[in-house]
Amino acid sequence: MVINFEQVHNYYERLVFTAVASQASMHPNYSADNLADVACVMLNRLPARYVRHDVDLMFYLTEKERYHIEESLTEALAYAFEFVGQRMVKQDSVN
């Protein structure tokens, strides 16, 4: 039997990458590496939700759960940009 795990992914990854990319122009001093760090910090603030197909998860969520996901993404995005930004300032002061 051949098992294919290629479809398995963390539901939040695509949402996080899209959110960070959409905010990148508002943070012109963040390099591509900084933005990748923002995505990592953000993903670490969110629960892992592994799925094969995003639509499967969305089908079973209530409206309240969908709202909670959006709120969690917004909060994690703000936190991650602030967290990485503070580290950038500290790094600049050391250099």
pLDDT band at 42 (very low <50, low <70, confident <90, very high): very high
Number of domains, the chain = 1
- Chain centroid offset of residue 90 CA: 23
- Residues, the chain: 95
In a domain, 2, yes or no: no
The verdict on pTM exceeding 0.85 is: yes
DSSP 13-47: HHHHHHHHHHHGGG-TT--HHHHHHHHHHHHHHS-
In a domain, 79, yes or no: yes
In a domain, 36, yes or no: yes
Q: Is the predicted pLDDT of residue 71 greater than 80, yes or no?
A: yes
Residues 6+ apart with CB under 8 A from 34: 27, 84, 88
| The pLDDT value given to residue 95 | 63
In a domain, 66, yes or no: yes
In a domain, 3, yes or no: no
In a domain, 4, yes or no: no
At residue 28's C-alpha, the angle toward residues 26 and 34, to 5°, is 100
In a domain, 1, yes or no: no
